[in-house]
Amino acid sequence: MAKAIAYLRVSTDEQDLENQRLEIRNYADRRGIGISEWIEVEVSSRKKARARKIENLISRLKKGDTLVVSELSRLARLMRETHNIIHEIAKKKVELHIIKQNLVTKDSDDMATKIYINSFAMAAEIERDLISQRTKNGIALARKRGKQIGNPNLKADNKIRTEKANEFAESLRGIIAGLLKNKLTQRQIVAELNKAGARTARGCEFKLATLQRVLKRLELSIA
């Protein structure tokens, strides 16, 4: 049975994800399309297709299905990748609705469709490159003017975290040293700490990795 899938992708902004949902719902209602499945991804367009669930999306599509996206850049922002994705979708005889570009494609071999897709893909790629270049230029200019980039308190925050971690490790030195003296393995030490009710700095049970970090800070090792 044919189905309609909506694909949504955002980098990090939850509000933008909600906007895409609303846009697709309104469009689907106007067109009489009943969306049966929503694939939502929170990942940068710079990530590979697998991370963006594109491969999963294409594998789920069958002949006669409908795919709805808010705009072409949700699928990809590089021309070559866009072309490949659209070609794979068309090969499956899937109807693709791209809302912002006002496109409905059924056949990637249609010349008009090819021109439209390539034009929009080129615009998206240029836009991404321009944004990237403007960001780099802005950072370079700010540094030239002596402005600090990023969190100005990062060093101080890291120092405080390191000091707290060291203090926590020191509070365990006597206990761990005694267990090491009795020739216990790291896993046995973890079990003994948890049995005694000891907790990590975050109030959790000890794990092997936590103990290893503490041992490293205390410069202790199992002979």
* Tens-level pLDDT at each residue, the chain (223 residues): 889 999 998 876 555 788 889 999 999 999 999 999 999 888 776 677 677 888 889 999 999 999 999 988 888 877 778 888 888 888 888 999 989 888 888 765 565 556 656 665 565 665 556 556 666 666 666 666 666 555 666 666 677 778 888 888 888 888 888 888 888 888 888 888 888 777 887 778 888 888 888 888 888 776 5
| Whole-number Å distance between alpha carbons of 67 and 6 | 6
The CB-side HSE value for 117 (13 A sphere, CA atoms) comes to 27
| Whole-number Å distance between alpha carbons of 109 and 114 | 7
3-class DSSP state of 173 = helix
Give the pTM.
Answer: 0.53
* pLDDT for the residue 118: 61
* pLDDT for the residue 117: 62
| Whole-number Å distance between alpha carbons of 206 and 200 | 6
Query: H helices within the chain, ranges in order?
Result: 14-31, 54-60, 79-91, 111-144, 154-171, 173-181, 186-195, 208-218
Closest C-alpha to 99, from 36, 35, 149: 35
**Structure tokens belonging to residue 125:** 């790629």
| Whole-number Å distance between alpha carbons of 72 and 81 | 11
Strand partners, 66: 4, 95
Closest C-alpha to 4, from 38, 35, 39, 40: 35
Q: Which amino acid makes up residue 83?
A: H
